[in-house]
Amino acid sequence: MIGSGPTSAAVAVVTSLGVVFAPAAPTPAEARVECGWRITATHVLAELDGDESERAQAWRAALTEIGADRPGFVPTTCYTTPGPSDTRDSGDSGDSGASGAAGNTGNRSNDHENGSSAAPDAGSPGPPTGPTSGTPASGDTAGEVFGWGVPDVVDDFTGTGLGAGWNAYDGPGHAGNGTRSPDAATVTDGVLTIDGTGDGTTAGLAWTAHSQKYGRWEVRMRAPTGSPSYNALALLWPTQENFPVGGEIDFAEIMNPARDTIELFLHYGADNSQVHGELNIDAAAWHNYAVEWTPHGVTAFVDGREWWKTTDTSILPPGPMHLCLQLDWFPRGDGETGRMQVDWVKQWGLAAGEGPSTDTAGSEGSTDADSSTTVTDEINNNTGRS
């Protein structure tokens, strides 16, 4: 039963987010904030899809009133890398959640002042000694195993703030629960850390400047702190903000509080259908999670090995996508904190006519809505390009 709290919160969202409609020609910092809350509003509205509770209806009405359901609600400028005048001093640790330095456009190039680079990262040696420690050697990556070449863009989080092209969510949390705060995302010692409090203050980041249709993404991450209420994930989100028809690929979602599994969800269709995969793995430790999306299907990799694949082209996303990193709060009354850490992210485009990296068939049952794969021979699928 919805109470005055959620309703008041929804009204507060309309009031607080609506004020940005008035100003013209915002400063670069204001523009980043505007992108943050607009992206947040569209994501929250999408996350409410299928939820007909009274609370969800109140949120849906509030977000619809501010126009979060309308095409163009998120300006196209949110999906471009800031220009030189928009760069942020890498020493400005007080604004760690905002977009960072400028980047060049074009294939295989992106400036790297606050963490973005065209060169791949080798990782930092030494085993972790605690939740905020550095990372061990990178180990096998799909990019190296399958010869994807030099990434088009990399962020290895070497500065004190986010690199080029990131937008931090700013506003209500996942499905309207808790709060998305840019301050919950920090960059220190080459690692991006997203923290979540016991009352649901957490962060989400969208790499909006690097949207593309088809390609490859790889993320080195871990979730060292388990909580029943926090899911850590890396995903591809539709740039047109047209979920569910625009699809969604959660290629590395850590849901189990024991942090001993990784899950994949590919959303598709107007009814938000899903296909699913699951792999037993120590998700509290560092691993390299990759996804490859081609016109022929979607393949997921961990530490350079294929573990899930679909070749059903009817369920593929219809348009461009961009990478998101999120620590989502699903309140279960436990009051525990959550944490996820990311060492680096990499992205490759797909050359014309280029096919998938492996010639394996799709995972058994991978196009069924209730499909699930566990540790099977798929983990050993290291065949060459088809």
pLDDT tens-place string over residues 162-177: 877 899 999 999 889 9
The single-letter code of the amino acid at 195 is: D
User: Residue ranges of the alpha helices (H) in the chain?
Assistant: 4-18, 28-47, 54-65, 142-145
pLDDT tens-place string over residues 280-301: 999 999 999 999 999 999 999 9
Secondary structure (DSSP) of 232-274: EEEEEEETT--TTTT-EEEEEEE--TT--EEEEEEEETTTTEE
pLDDT tens-place string over residues 93-112: 333 333 333 333 233 223 32
The single-letter code of the amino acid at 98 is: A
Structure confidence at residue 49 (pLDDT): 82
The single-letter code of the amino acid at 270 is: A
Residue 133 has pLDDT above 70, yes or no: no
Q: Alpha carbon of 7 to those of 12, 56, 84: distances in Å?
A: 9, 10, 42
Tokens of 69: 């359901």
Q: Is the dihedral of CA 190, 215, 327, 63 positive or negative?
A: positive
Structure confidence at residue 30 (pLDDT): 52
Do residues 167 and 34 lie in contact, with contact meaning Cβ atoms separated by under 8 Å? Answer: no
Structure confidence at residue 223 (pLDDT): 97
Structure confidence at residue 379 (pLDDT): 35
Return the SS3 of 33: helix
pLDDT tens-place string over residues 201-244: 999 999 999 999 999 999 999 999 889 999 999 999 999 999 99
The DSSP 8-state label assigned to residue 113 in this structure reads: S
Do residues 102 and 86 lie in contact, with contact meaning Cβ atoms separated by under 8 Å? Answer: yes
